[in-house]
């Protein structure tokens, strides 16, 4: 008698399907198989999850066609992790499982290109002498057997990376593999070089700048044991490493660890669970931990390790807040025609920095010349036809939507009243660069944003020029705020800190604090004993904002205590748990109807089931960005104290999903990071 098996097929099915195995095929859990799906003869791939107890009634049971011979059986802890991911994030098990395989077949021809190698060959370096804090941290982490989670909370420049390197050395000595996750934006050549100088050709990397063939080759290098340490962005989690012994998540607070499309998982939380199933330690590192991780550490779920000092006792930078509403009189004469965004204080500090042949970096989290254009005669603004957003002016010639990439030529004459002339309003990195060339005509100026840095080679070139001193002033978005380490960078200016203050999102203050602190941490990282500390100038219209008050004194712990207390009053994370339903439709009325149906189902279920009466249902309401890519957007939020209860509630509300109209979608986001 043939045996029945549960197979998670690569299709939007909420549960695994049942198939029978032909005699002698030798099926077992964790194998990749080819199975028929639907009425035709189409084959799809699926992961075998285990034997099925019985055949579902009313269905014809189809046979497994074949086993995929290219891929070995997935390790049992890894299969358990995939099942957890699918269940926790309410995503089809087959579409979750198939993320564990490379994009191409193993054997394939690499197309010739001039791209730099994934891992460059660099000269080996002797490890530095550990500080007492670093040594204590490493000893404490190594004192734990099996699974444990550690939060390394260290000020910028305190040597967290060296801790990771030493722990990885011990992992390799045991014959085990290591996984290092970093935010995509921090996956710079500097970081790769530092690991390569310590571990040579034992390193593989996975990130978005690789070609499909490069990704496939790196994947197999790890699976077959040619490489022992995998460095990557969040998707590197899905490489089923054999004999995994350590997971590191650097800059664990970074929002880019959260996937916003399809499987909406959080890389940090998924890494902790991967370590749990593999019974290996997980190390999280940050100078500005997420409040969720900080709360877990304070409650004893994570082990907390503090690094209070920079390496070699280097001073933290001096921070100065400039009130743009009433700038202080300058100490020396400044040009009368300073641009509106530059205070006399920042100008004079830049003059002094350049005179000492040191580098300055200006941060503004907004691209382009201006974030909108408006007609002064009639008030008309140019908006994206696909999104509820103003178009941004670039290069003075074209308008761009940063959400759907819609482009149109910039026309000076107003297209609405045909009388007025459109004027650029606001600020962007392109305008900063233009003004700086006028103010500092002899300075070498570079811009780092997504318009200028579009691939790995661009970023490597920029970093090389900063390291050799061929750039005097660097202008950039958050691309330059993390992971970069330049010896000659002594002045950092945050041009307009207010940009993130008032977003309609309960995490806006936390993100502002993190960004200000991380950007400030780029300054003065390599000062010698007796040298003047680095300088940070923060320009703002809101000097009393919580993120600034605490960042001024490098006081993360004070900020965390204040913000957690505030959120606790509203039961927002980390005090409570949150789940978001996102309703999208190609018409406004359809989106409204679907959102209201969902809310009615939620409140009906809440009223009839005792375990759900403690939950809070908020909405439905239009999303702050109410239309993106011609999809109208609504939200329904569910608050509660227990993740398992929220998860069960969400599954029951969705049901079979047959109630959702054609042309509408209801997406579930567990532990959402953004409410925009």
Number of H-type helices and E-type strands within the chain: 16, 28
Q: Report the range of poorest mean pLDDT among 11-20, 77-86, 231-240, 473-482.
A: 473-482
Strand, coil or helix: what is 598?
helix
Count of alpha carbons within 13 Å of 161, Cβ hemisphere only?
19
| Per-residue pLDDT band at 525 (split at 50, 70, 90) | confident
CA distance 559 to 290: 11
The structural domains of the chain, ordered by start, are 3-74 (3.40.1440), 132-311 (3.40.50.300), 314-366+429-568 (3.40.50.300), 367-426 (no CATH), 577-670 (3.30.70.600)
The per-residue pLDDT for range 559-597, each reduced to its tens digit, is 999 999 999 999 999 999 999 999 999 999 999 999 999
- Pairwise CA distance, residues 352 & 358, whole Å: 9
Which range is least confidently modeled, 88-92, 296-300, 503-507, 611-615? 503-507
Span 398-438, pLDDT tens digits: 999 988 999 999 999 999 898 899 988 888 999 999 999 99
* The pLDDT of residue 103: 94
Q: What is the pLDDT of residues 57-76, one digit of tens each?
A: 777 899 999 999 999 999 99
pTM of the model: 0.93
Residue 429, C-beta contacts closer than 8 angstroms, at least 6 positions apart: 364, 366, 367, 368, 447, 449, 475, 476, 477
For residue range 174-205, list pLDDT tens digits in order. Answer: 999 999 999 876 667 778 889 999 999 999 99
What pLDDT, on the 0 to 100 scale, is given for residue 112?
55
The CA dihedral of 295, 299, 301, 305, to the nearest 10 degrees, is: 70
Q: Which residues contact 484 (CB under 8 A, 6 or more apart)?
A: 188, 190, 463, 466, 522
At 667 the pLDDT is 97
Alpha carbon distance 46, 37 (integer Å): 10
Q: Which residue has the tokens 């190390």?
A: 283
Residue 148's closest CA among 275, 295, 270? 275
For residue 313, the model assigns a pLDDT of 81
Residue 673 near residue 574 (C-beta atoms within 8 A): no
Q: Which of 160-169, 226-235, 521-530 has the lowest mean pLDDT?
A: 521-530
620 pLDDT band (50/70/90 cuts)? very high
Mean pLDDT computed over 359-363: 95
The string over 616-638, giving b where at least 16 C-beta atoms fall within 10 Å of a residue's C-beta and e elsewhere, is: ebebbebbeebbbeebbbbbbbb
3-state SS string over 33-95?
EEEECCCCCCEEEEEEEEECCCCCCCCCCEECCEECCCCCCCCHHHHHHHHHHHHHCCCCHHH
* Side-chain-facing half-sphere of 243: CA atoms under 13 Å: 14
CA distances for 31 relative to 22, 98, 220, angstroms: 15, 11, 17
């Amino acid at each position: 008698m043939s045996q029945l098996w549960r197979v998670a097929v690569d299709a939007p099915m909420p549960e695994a399907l049942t198939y029978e195995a032909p005699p002698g095929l030798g099926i077992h859990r964790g194998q990749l198989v080819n199975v028929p799906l639907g009425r035709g003869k189409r084959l799809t791939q699926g992961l075998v999850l285990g034997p099925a107890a019985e055949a579902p009634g009313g269905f014809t049971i189809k046979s497994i066609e074949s086993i995929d011979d290219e891929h070995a059986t997935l390790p049992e802890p890894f299969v358990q992790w995939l099942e957890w991911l699918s269940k926790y994030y309410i995503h089809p098990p087959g579409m979750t499982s198939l993320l564990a395989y490379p994009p191409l077949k193993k054997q394939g021809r690499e197309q010739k290109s001039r791209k730099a190698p994934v891992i460059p060959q660099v000269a080996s370096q002797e490890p530095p002498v550990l500080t007492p804090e670093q040594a204590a941290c490493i000893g404490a982490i190594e004192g734990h057997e099996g699974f444990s989670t550690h939060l390394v909370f260290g000020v910028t420049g305190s040597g967290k990376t060296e801790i990771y390197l030493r722990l990885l050395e011990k992992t390799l000595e045991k014959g085990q593999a290591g996984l290092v996750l970093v935010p995509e934006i921090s996956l710079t050549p500097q970081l790769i070089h530092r690991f390569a100088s310590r571990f040579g050709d034992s390193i593989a990397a996975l990130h978005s700048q690789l070609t499909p063939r490069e990704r496939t080759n790196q994947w197999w290098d790890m699976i077959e044991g040619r490489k022992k340490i995998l460095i990557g962005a969040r998707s590197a989690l899905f490489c089923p490493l054999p004999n995994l012994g350590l997971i590191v998540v650097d800059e664990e607070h970074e929002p880019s660890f959260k996937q916003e499309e399809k499987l909406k998982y959080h890389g940090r939380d998924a890494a902790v669970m991967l370590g749990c199933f593999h019974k290996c330690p997980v190390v999280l590192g940050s100078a500005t931990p997420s409040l969720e991780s900080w709360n877990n550490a304070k409650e004893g779920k994570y082990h907390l390790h503090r690094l209070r000092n920079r390496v070699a006792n280097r001073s933290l930078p001096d921070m100065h807040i400039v009130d743009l509403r009433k700038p202080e009189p300058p100490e020396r004469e400044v040009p009368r025609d300073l641009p509106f965004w530059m205070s006399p204080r920042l100008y004079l500090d830049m003059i002094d920095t350049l005179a000492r042949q040191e580098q300055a970096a200006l941060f503004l989290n907004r691209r382009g010349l201006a974030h909108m254009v408006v007609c002064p005669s009639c008030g008309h603004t140019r908006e994206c036809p696909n999104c509820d957003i103003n178009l941004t002016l670039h290069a003075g010639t074209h308008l761009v939507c940063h959400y759907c990439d819609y482009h149109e030529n910039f026309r000076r004459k107003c297209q609405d009243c045909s009388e007025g002339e459109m004027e650029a309003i606001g600020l962007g990195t392109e305008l900063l660069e233009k003004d700086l060339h006028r103010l500092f005509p002899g300075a070498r100026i570079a811009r780092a944003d997504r318009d200028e840095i579009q691939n790995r080679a661009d970023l490597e070139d920029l970093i090389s020029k900063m390291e050799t001193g061929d750039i005097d002033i660097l202008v950039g978005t958050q691309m330059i705020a993390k992971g970069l380490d330049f010896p000659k960078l002594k002045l950092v200016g945050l041009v307009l800190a207010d940009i993130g203050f008032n977003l309609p999102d309960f995490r806006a203050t936390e993100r502002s604090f993190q960004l200000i602190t991380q950007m400030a941490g780029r300054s003065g990282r390599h000062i010698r004993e007796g040298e003047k500390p680095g300088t940070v100038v923060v320009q703002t219209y809101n000097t009393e904002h919580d993120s600034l008050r605490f960042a001024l004194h490098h006081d993360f712990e004070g900020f965390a205590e204040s913000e957690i207390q505030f959120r606790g009053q509203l039961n927002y994370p980390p005090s409570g748990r949150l789940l978001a339903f996102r309703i999208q439709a190609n018409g406004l009325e359809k989106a409204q109807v679907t959102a209201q149906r969902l809310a009615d189902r939620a409140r009906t279920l809440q009223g009839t089931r005792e375990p759900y009466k403690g939950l809070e249902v908020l909405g439905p309401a239009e999303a702050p960005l109410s239309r993106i890519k011609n999809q109208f957007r609504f939200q329904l939020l569910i608050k509660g104290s227990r993740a398992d209860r929220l998860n069960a509630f969400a599954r029951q509300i969705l049901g079979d999903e047959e109630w959702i109209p054609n042309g509408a979608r209801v997406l579930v986001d567990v532990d959402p990071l953004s409410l925009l």
